[in-house]
Amino acid sequence: QVQLQESGGGLVQPGDSLRLSCAVSPRTYNTYARGWFRQAPGKDRDLVAGISWRGGSTYYADAVKGRFTISRDNAENMVYLLMNDLKPDDSAIYYCAILDYYDGAGKVHHWGQGTQVTVSS
C-alpha cells in the first residue's frame, strides 16, 4: 500500500519560511512525478509545484513563483517544498501527491493526508 506522509507545516508570520517534507513508501512509484497541492477553505485543491521524476523539470503556480522551491531525493524517496516570504494567502492544507506529469497533466495516483500551513501575524 502506497503511503505519503507530509510534515513541516505550522503557524508562521508573514515573511517567514517553512520547508515541507513528504516521505513516500514503498518505492513503487519512484519514476513518477511528484507535486504539492494546496487547498484553502471553500476553494479548490490546486497544484502549487511539481517536479519530474529525475528532477530536471519543475512547475510552479504563478502565485508562488520566485518564493517556493520544490525538490526531491530519490535515494531517500522524499520530496520537499521550501516556502519563502510566506503570505497570508498561502494559508492552506498542503498535500503531497504522486502524479503522471510534473505540470499536473494526467492523473494523480496517490495523495498524502495533508499538513496545515497558517500564515498570520
What pLDDT, in 10s, does the model give residues 34-90?
A: 999 999 999 999 999 999 999 999 999 999 999 999 999 999 999 999 999 999 999
Q: Which of the pair, 27 or 73, is modelled with greater confidence?
A: 73
CB 88 within 8 A of CB 11: no
Residue 36's DSSP bridge partners are 49, 96
Task: Tell me if the bond preceding 26 is cis, omega within 30° of 0.
Answer: yes
Q: What are phi and psi of 27, to 5 degrees?
A: -85, 10
- Integer distance in angstroms from the first to the last C-alpha of the chain? 40
Residue carrying C-alpha cell 510534515: 7
Residue 29 banded pLDDT, cuts 50, 70, 90: confident
pLDDT at residue number 33: 96
Residue 30 banded pLDDT, cuts 50, 70, 90: confident
CA distance 14 to 2: 35
pLDDT at residue number 1: 85
- Please state, rounded to an integer, the average pLDDT across all residues of the chain: 95
pLDDT at residue number 77: 93
